């Protein structure tokens, strides 16, 4: 479901944030999201999660357009059938994203969304998003190195260029599909992990950038 929130608007969310249950996480890569932003137009931010007040508050400092698309509970993701073709999945994702075809996103906050998609779904999602990604688009994501690492059932907000907020997510946890950095690069194609850093709890944060297929890929770290 897409929710558009203006820079000075109050975030509308399907769940009320209970900050007493939230934790703050340090980020070493979030600041890199802001290094290539245009100064002559409104920036477009896609958040693949709930409309968190922290994110709205931060981007109220910019001339920005915030798009919140929470696909975690979409039936075609939770109950994917083996008979669904790649083109059908791409169409489902495009409908779920609901983005204008000529809109180019400046910042994509993927959070932990990739971990809930297997390779087939991740490829379809990447193709669905591709028309809205440009050479200067930057993305941010969270991952786990392997199945032994715990992935909290959480939703996230961007508090500053060095900190995130993590709050409990309602509902039953979904299956987790850990992806190596190499696999993520292969599945995403035109986006590539530019930087990655281990977090204090053993998770990994990723900064993603446009990848020209004619240029050699960066060597995976994890």
Highest CATH level, class, for 2-210: alpha beta
**Rg of the chain taking only CA atoms, in angstroms:** 16
Token readout for 41 is 């137009």
Report strand pairing: 191-198 vs 204-210.
antiparallel
Q: pTM of the predicted model, to two decimals?
A: 0.88
Q: Which among 9, 111, 25, 134 has a CA at the least distance from the CA of 64? A: 9
Tens of pLDDT along 14-48? Answer: 334 445 678 999 999 999 999 988 888 899 999 99
Domain ranges of the chain: 2-210
Q: Which pLDDT band, with edges at 50, 70 and 90, does 154 fall under?
A: very high
């Amino acid at each position: 479901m897409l929710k558009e929130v203006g820079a000075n608007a109050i975030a509308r969310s399907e769940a009320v944030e209970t900050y007493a249950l939230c934790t703050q996480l340090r980020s070493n890569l979030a600041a890199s999201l802001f290094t290539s932003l245009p100064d002559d137009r409104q920036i477009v931010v896609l958040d693949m999660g709930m409309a968190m007040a922290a994110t709205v508050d931060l981007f109220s400092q910019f001339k920005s357009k915030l798009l919140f698309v929470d696909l975690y509970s979409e039936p075609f993701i939770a109950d994917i059938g083996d008979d669904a073709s790649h083109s059908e999945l791409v169409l489902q994702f495009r409908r779920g994203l609901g983005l204008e075809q000529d809109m180019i996103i400046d910042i994509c906050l993927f959070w932990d969304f990739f971990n809930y998609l297997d390779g087939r779904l991740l490829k379809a999602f990447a193709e669905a998003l591709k028309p809205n990604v440009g050479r200067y688009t930057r993305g941010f994501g969270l991952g786990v190195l392997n199945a032994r690492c715990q992935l909290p059932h959480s939703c996230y907000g961007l508090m500053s260029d060095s900190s995130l907020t993590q709050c409990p997510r309602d509902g039953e946890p979904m299956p987790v599909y850990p992806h190596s950095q190499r696999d993520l690069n292969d599945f995403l194609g035109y986006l590539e992990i530019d930087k990655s850093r281990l977090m204090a709890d053993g998770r990994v944060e990723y900064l993603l950038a446009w990848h020209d297929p004619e240029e050699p890929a960066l060597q995976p770290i994890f």
